[in-house]
Amino acid sequence: MTFKRLTVVLLACLTLSACGGVDPNSPLGQRKAIFKQMLKTGEDLGGMLRGRIPFDGAKFAEGATRLDALAHQPWQHFPSVREEDHTSAKDDVWQKQAQFQQLARDLEAATGELVIASQVLPYKASNLGPAVQKVEDACSACHKQFRDH
């Protein structure tokens, strides 16, 4: 699935879920807010590489660092048992915790590699593109297994 298509699906899900009045202080509300920030940041980085947004190396590097910080945050907001609220998370999140946590670590590693790639000057799409793709692939892998689209 392309990043653009994944983005559209994620935005649609976020929009529809916002209608339910999720408590922003609940674990569900907190992780949704983080995922929304991750999506926006990732869209900006991808947009710079794909020419949708003018490329700015310093802003790209800041975005990579922001995305890396965000990538470490949502996991703490998955309680040990499934919430009663309707979420996009499949039951497998709680039933296959080891796999879920591994995919979370894979995303964290990918965003860390993106930060490193974003520090190499001069900025080149040939350096940044594969690192962005690895982040997108990590997101997609987790969504395919653990997210109810």
Q: What is the pTM of this model?
A: 0.82
Segment 63-82 mean pLDDT: 94
Residue in this structure with the two tokens 């983080």, named with its chain if needed: 34
Which residue, 126, 127, 118, is CA-closest to 56?
118
**Dihedral sign, Cα of residue 135, residue 139, residue 145, residue 149:** negative
CB 38 within 8 A of CB 23: no
- pLDDT, tens digit, 9 for 90 and up, residues 94-129: 999 999 999 999 999 999 999 999 999 999 989 999
* pLDDT the model gives residue 123: 93
pLDDT at 16 over 50: no
**What is the three-class DSSP state of 104?**
helix
Distance CA 41, CA 20 (A): 24
Residue 5 has pLDDT above 80, yes or no: no
Q: What pLDDT was estimated at residue 148?
A: 84
* C-beta of residue 49 within 8 angstroms of C-beta of residue 55: yes
Helix axes 125-146, 27-49, angle to 10 degrees: 150
Rounded Cα–Cα distance for residues 141 and 97 (Å): 15
